[in-house]
Amino acid sequence: MLRFASPLARHAATHRATHRATHRATHRATHRALMSTRRRRPRSPPTTTSPLKNLLLKPALFTGVTIAGSFGVTTAIDRLNLRLPKWALDMNQRTPHLWPFVGTVVLSNIAIFLMWQRGLPPRFLSKYFLSQHGMEHTFAMLGSTFSHRDLWHLGFNMFAFYSFSRSTSFSLGSGDTASMYLTCGVVSSWVAGVVSCYHPALKLLRVPALGASGAVLGLVSYATLSQPNLELAIIFLPMFSFPAINMLAGLVCFDLVGLVLGWRALGHAAHLTGVATGAGFYYGGLEAAQLYKRQVRMKVDMARRWYRDKMRRN
């Protein structure tokens, strides 16, 4: 038997079908609009770290860690009476005070120089061994101290380092010399980075920096002040000599003029900072470090006694 719907029922069914179709169409249109908006939404600009954090807070923390860590580690190693291998002892007999510090630094600089020449790996070298404008990567303050791109730059710095670091190791020991070298390098990189951001002639160039000049001049400054009668000779003219203090004074004057005039060939700010840091070590800095080293030795002795007692109990 056939049943015929009433006009009122047909109207209600039509109304429901129309409502469903309208709702679906509206939902699809809204979904398409949202998806297109998401696709066309511009990317937000990358967040930039404030100059206060990049130029002051992070470098200050890294410098403090470097100073405390270098003096602490070298003091702990010296307190533990760790011995050099036989080949290093034999080389020290032929070339005194070459190992463990002087030879390690020279070989590290040569290795990083060869990495630059091979271009391996470029991102790693540019990030950690090149002090970029703005000092975004803090480790580069230390890594750039071991980094050279030009052979003449490497040769000059390593020759000066080899000449002065051995005499400083003879008077202070390899541990204090290594700590002073690292401190001078980090502090000079920090000051040079700040100067490059605010110097009128340098802040527009955004030129990265590298080289061991600041750290080497720190050793030169300390050695010259601690040995007032030190004489230097020209490598090609060994018969002529002159006082080292005069050379240091002339270098400081040259770097002051270069910094004021904005000469870009050399890192004048790093040079001056290295000289000032080395002078700071001579005029009381090392005495203050000895107080810290005394505390480190006490902690090492306590740890050794605790370890011995524990081994006896076991």
Domain ranges across the chain: 51-313
Report the candidate in 265, 228, 273 with the shortest Cα–Cα distance to residue 247: 228
Handedness of CA 213, 214, 215, 221 (dihedral sign): positive
pLDDT (average), residues 55-80: 90
Instruction: Categorize the per-residue pLDDT at 92 as very low, low, confident or very high, splitting at 50, 70 and 90.
Output: confident
Can you tell me the distance from the alpha carbon of 96 to that of 85, in angstroms, rounded to the nearest whole number? 15
Q: Are 132 and 173 contacting, i.e. CB atoms less than 8 angstroms apart? A: no
The answer to whether residue 7 scores a pLDDT higher than 60 is no
Instruction: Categorize the per-residue pLDDT at 14 as very low, low, confident or very high, splitting at 50, 70 and 90.
Output: low
Which residues lie below 8 Å from residue 170, measured CB to CB, with a gap of 6+? Answer: 96, 97
- Select which of 213, 221, 226, 241 is catalytic: 213
pLDDT: is 11 or 218 the higher one?
218
My answer on whether omega of the bond before 100 falls inside 30° of 0, hence cis, is yes
| 3 state SS of 131 | strand
At 142 the pLDDT is: 93
- Select which of 137, 148, 199, 271 is catalytic: 271
Question: Burial letters for 62-71: b for 16+ Cβ neighbours within 10 Å, e otherwise?
Answer: bbeebbeebb
pLDDT digits 0-9 by tens, 161-184: 998 998 899 889 899 999 999 999
Can you tell me the distance from the alpha carbon of 179 to that of 188, in angstroms, rounded to the nearest whole number? 14
pLDDT: is 281 or 38 the higher one?
281
Report the candidate in 156, 145, 291, 155 with the shortest Cα–Cα distance to residue 218: 145
* Residue 226: active-site member: no
The answer to whether residue 35 scores a pLDDT higher than 70 is no
pLDDT (average), residues 3-12: 52
The answer to whether residue 71 scores a pLDDT higher than 80 is yes
pLDDT (average), residues 3-31: 61
The answer to whether residue 101 scores a pLDDT higher than 80 is yes
Q: Read off the DSSP letter of residue 135.
A: -
CATH fold for the domain made of 51-313: Rhomboid-like fold (1.20.1540)
Helix (H) / strand (E) element for 232: namely strand 231-233
* Residue 196: active-site member: no
The answer to whether residue 204 scores a pLDDT higher than 70 is no
pLDDT (average), residues 36-56: 55
pLDDT (average), residues 279-308: 91
Which region among 24-33, 153-162, 280-289 has the lowest average model confidence (pLDDT)?
A: 24-33
pLDDT: is 33 or 119 the higher one?
119
